[in-house]
Amino acid sequence: MLARVITFAVDGVDARRVWVEADIRLGLPAFTVVGLADKAVREARERVRAALVNSGYEFPLKRITVNMAPAYLRKVGPAFDLPLAVALLVASAQLDGESIESTAVVGELSLTGEVRPIRGALAIAEAVRRHGLARLVLPRARAREAALVPDVQILGVESLEQVVATLEGHAEPAPLPEPEQDASDPVPDLSDVRGHNGLIPGLEVAAAGGHNLFLQGPPGTGKTMIARRLPSILPPLDPDEAIEVTRIQSIAGLRGAAGLVTARPFRAPHHTVSAAGLVGGANPPQPGEATLAHRGVLFL
């Protein structure tokens, strides 16, 4: 039997739709994954097998072929575990195919069937909305972040069993997790600076107009100290900016279970930072320091 599950792959600072197709047919037991999948995705086979069995489902001892489409898009990371498991459940008739209609599924699985957090939940939820899908099943720890996107029903799940129960409508979707207390240090304040009466107005002009600022002076005169205090006089993030910053930090894996980012970023990379570290790069592309400082301060 054939099953198709919609999921999303993070690509740069965006998410793209991917179909996970599972085909189960008679033959010698085998489990093949095709469609430009990286090592973590091929390893998903082992996690999915263990998670299914340990959650009390049957792992079909038949010829299983999984295709991830579109094939040209590189699929990276463990977030395909859950859609793969759901595709196998549908293809082996352990889950009703209608239950996954208009539903996107993302999440990493542990061997026990627990659903583990993923990166880029906000970007994925935005893409789900853009594609006109109704529901998103994702790890509960990221549900608060995904719920920032309107018009999409967010189903936060903690285990494979819960995924099946929620999709079949036997269980109520779990409530959003409690907002995590913001553990980050308070933003250092400009009032700590002594003197520099000429420089402070310059700093204010740069903050008000969003200009670049060049600080020159001997070591120990407070350049770093003053630059660190620039975010304290910048205006608060407006809602759209906050979404942009949250989406970038989420993709870079800098976010916990908290919802929206409220503080402007301050990034101070070391002067030996590589070109890719500064402007982004690698394959698949990762945001660099310049991107991470978006809507905030990049201090070099």
Question: From the centroid of its chain, how far is CA 270?
Answer: 26
Q: Which is nearer to ligand ADP, 219 or 239 (CB)?
A: 219
Residue 193 binds which of Mg ion, ligand ADP, none (CB < 5-8 A, kind-dependent): ligand ADP
How many CB atoms are located within 10 Å of the residue 284 CB? 14
CA dist 282 and 279 (Å) reads: 10
Residue 221 binds which of Mg ion, ligand ADP, none (CB < 5-8 A, kind-dependent): ligand ADP
Cβ at position 211, least distance to Mg ion in Å: 20
Cβ at position 227, least distance to ligand ADP in Å: 8
Two tokens at 198?
């000429």
104 burial (CB, 10 Å; 0-12 / 13-18 / 19+) is buried
> In which residue are the tokens 């469609």 written?
35
> In which residue are the tokens 């998903």 written?
44
Residues in contact with Mg ion by CB under 5 A are 224
CA dist 267 and 252 (Å) reads: 13
Question: From the centroid of its chain, how far is CA 241?
Answer: 17
Name which of residues 179 to 218 contact ligand ADP (CB under 6 A). Answer: 193-196, 217
* Apex 81 CA angle, 100 and 7, nearest 5: 45
> Considering the rule CB under 6 A, would residue 224 count as an interface residue with ligand ADP?
yes
Instruction: Find the binder of ligand ADP among 65, 99, 221, 232 (CB under 6 A).
Output: 221
Q: Which is nearer to ligand ADP, 181 or 216 (CB)?
A: 216
Alpha helices in the chain (DSSP H): 39-54, 81-91, 121-130, 143-146, 160-168, 199-209, 223-228, 239-251, 275-279, 289-292
Please name the residues in contact with 41: beta carbons below 8 A apart, sequence gap of 6 or more: 33, 68, 75, 76, 77, 78, 80
Residue 222 binds which of Mg ion, ligand ADP, none (CB < 5-8 A, kind-dependent): ligand ADP
Q: Which is nearer to Mg ion, 224 or 274 (CB)?
A: 224
Residue 239 binds which of Mg ion, ligand ADP, none (CB < 5-8 A, kind-dependent): none
Q: Between the CA atoms of 283, 251, 129 and 147, what dihedral angle is there, to the nearest 10 degrees?
A: 160
Binding mask 146-175 for ligand ADP (x = CB under 6 A): ------------------------------
Residue 220 binds which of Mg ion, ligand ADP, none (CB < 5-8 A, kind-dependent): ligand ADP
Cβ at position 235, least distance to ligand ADP in Å: 24
Residue 210 binds which of Mg ion, ligand ADP, none (CB < 5-8 A, kind-dependent): none
> Considering the rule CB under 6 A, would residue 222 count as an interface residue with ligand ADP?
yes
Q: Which is nearer to ligand ADP, 181 or 212 (CB)?
A: 212
Please give the size of the binding site for ligand ADP, defined by CB under 6 A: 12
Cβ at position 16, least distance to ligand ADP in Å: 42
295 within 8 A of 241, measured Cβ to Cβ: yes
Cβ at position 292, least distance to Mg ion in Å: 20
Q: Between the CA atoms of 241, 245, 248 and 253, what dihedral angle is there, to the nearest 10 degrees?
A: -160
Q: Report the residue closest to ligand ADP, judged by CB.
A: 222
Residues within the interface to ligand ADP (CB under 6 A): 193-196, 217, 219-225
